[in-house]
């Protein structure tokens, strides 16, 4: 058994709370084990300069970790005077992932800003952020639709992400920090609901891995992502799920 008594192919307990904050068009608190991330979606009625006049919209992201989210105080980017390299990498990943399930031509010339703030970190913060941010994005789009600002629904599919890795005991799903810290291989996998891969980030930390082990990790990731997407569908409800599947 693992540190928290899970089986190797078992997700941590997942809880997603919608409408967590008052002001954003979409807001979610996602909890995966002890990892907690607030994801918000806010709408800006303009696009970056390279999209002006094209009729297309944009989805972009920012990611940060609160000072008290880790055991040692996390210094704010504003204090350092620059964006932390890790934060920049993760927010680009979140933005790329979400754009993969949005038809920008149906969004109109507006930007949806996704902000993911880690309030408690215990591994898998980037993958939890993507899974939670997707719900916030859908809620924001639904609100735009209710306000009759969208003529067509721009979300084209479901999206989630999960971590997998190889420990001394073999391949494992959804690593907590203590597992991630000593993993021989660490991988983050972003997937759509049809089993297609959006992004795979895999790194040998303590040992190289074989093609057979890679296949094992991807199978584990697919299992975890299918479970997360099933939860997303349950949370969003049959009506919104049907709209997305028909888009």
Interval 143-150 mean pLDDT: 95
pLDDT tens by residue, 173-208: 999 999 999 999 999 999 999 899 999 999 998 789
Contact 176, 212 (CB under 8 A): no
Point out which residues pair with 124 in neighbouring strands.
Answer: none
In the predicted structure, residue 81 carries a pLDDT above the cut 80: no
Residue 152 vs residues 88, 130, 149, 155: alpha-carbon distances, Å: 32, 24, 9, 9
In the predicted structure, residue 77 carries a pLDDT above the cut 90: no
Predicted pLDDT at 1: 74
- Domain positions in the chain are 14-246
The architecture in CATH of the region 14-246 reads 2-Layer Sandwich (3.30)
Relative orientation angle of helices 125-146 and 211-236, to the nearest 10 degrees: 30
pTM, full prediction: 0.95
Predicted pLDDT at 78: 79
pLDDT tens by residue, 86-145: 889 999 999 999 999 999 999 999 999 999 999 999 999 999 999 999 999 999 999 999
State the Rg of the chain over Cα.
Answer: 18
- The label of the residue with tokens 């891995």 reads 209
Q: Which of 112, 109, 116 is nearest to 99 (CA)?
A: 112
């Amino acid at each position: 058994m693992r540190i928290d008594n899970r089986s190797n192919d078992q997700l941590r307990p997942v809880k997603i709370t919608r409408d967590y904050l008052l002001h954003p068009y979409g807001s979610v608190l996602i909890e995966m084990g002890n990892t907690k991330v607030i994801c918000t979606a806010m709408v800006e009625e303009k696009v970056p300069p390279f999209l002006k006049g094209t009729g297309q919209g944009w989805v972009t992201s920012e990611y940060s970790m609160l000072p008290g989210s880790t055991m040692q105080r996390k210094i704010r980017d504003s204090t350092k005077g620059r964006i932390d390299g890790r934060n920049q990498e993760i927010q680009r990943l979140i933005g790329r992932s979400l754009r993969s399930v949005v038809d920008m031509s149906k969004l109109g010339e507006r930007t949806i800003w996704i902000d993911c703030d880690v309030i408690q970190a215990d591994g898998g913060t980037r993958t939890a952020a993507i899974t939670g941010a997707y719900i916030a994005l859908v809620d924001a789009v639904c609100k735009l639709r209710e306000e009759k600002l969208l003529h067509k629904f721009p979300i084209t599919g479901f999206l989630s992400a999960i971590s997998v890795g190889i420990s001394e005991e073999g391949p494992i799903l959804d690593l907590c920090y203590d597992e991630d810290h000593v993993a021989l291989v660490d991988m983050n996998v972003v997937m759509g609901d049809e089993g297609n891969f959006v992004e795979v980030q895999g790194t040998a930390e303590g040992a190289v891995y074989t093609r057979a082990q890679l296949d094992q990790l991807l199978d584990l990731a697919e299992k975890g992502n299918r479970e997360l997407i099933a939860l997303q569908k349950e949370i969003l409800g049959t009506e919104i799920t049907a709209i997305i599947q028909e888009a």
